[in-house]
Chain A
Amino acid sequence: GAGVSQSPRYKVTKRGQDVALRCDPISGHVSLYWYRQALGQGPEFLTYFNYEAQQDKSGLPNDRFSAERPEGSISTLTIQRTEQRDSAMYRCASSLPGTGSPLHFGNGTRLTVT
């Protein structure tokens, strides 16, 4: 079946604009995660959902960042009033329920704020 799909693949935006990044998880996957990854670094946790409920948002850098998953499937990560420091690869992952279930990652959205 299809893997985790993220769109757009690349996004270039001007400082101060809002952006919305989309994640379509693997069908049947209950948990959905958002990470941010800088070049040469590991993924940095942002937030995760079980079904439509946001379980942990402790990794969101500030209140310009928000995420939602209203129907327990597709999720959107929104960054308001973007700043250059927001430039990074944003990765989404999904997993089946159960402690220790492997995460399946998408290919990410490369965000560049100019």
Chain B
Amino acid sequence: SQKIEQNSEALNIQEGKTATLTCNYTNYSPAYLQWYRQDPGRGPVFLLLIRENEKEKRKERLKVTFDTTLKQSLFHITASQPADSATYLCALGAGNTDKLIFGTGTRLQVFP
């Protein structure tokens, strides 16, 4: 069955460092991948989209890579700040449907 895995343990890093979050998937051939941020008690908020023919996408301090051979996406936050502390979710979509499947999420904690 389709499986999307993200680091289940929280990632704790110091302010100013780069945070790297991983999203691995199996039994799936996504046409695109999205990353969302979720704060406690709130719904997920869209951050970035990367398509299967793109290797890398950037937006301000955020960078996403997509390796369809490794079946993996990496999400980087450079110069991290305490305000970046949240849960980050990856989500995969196929090309022939609008159905979007989410991973379990990784909680990021940035310490001053």
Contact = CB atoms under 8 A, between A and B. Distances in A.
Interface string B83-111: 00000010101010111111111000000
Interface residues of B, number: 27
A100 B96 CA distance: 11
B99 A45 contact: yes
Given A45-B100, A45-B101, A48-B98, A100 B93 contact: yes
Contact of B99 (A41, A48, A91): A48
B79 interface: no
Contacts of A58: 99
A50 B98 CA distance: 9
Interface string B1-42: 000101000000000000000000000000110101000011
Nearest to B48: A102
B77 interface: no
Interface in A14-52: 31, 33, 35, 40-45, 48, 50
A33 B42 CA distance: 16
A93 interface: yes
Interface in B30-84: 31-32, 34, 36, 41-46, 49, 51
B46 A102 contact: yes
Interface of A: 4, 31, 33, 35, 40-45, 48, 50, 55-56, 58, 91, 93, 95, 99-108
Interface of B: 4, 6, 31-32, 34, 36, 41-46, 49, 51, 89, 91, 93, 95, 97-105
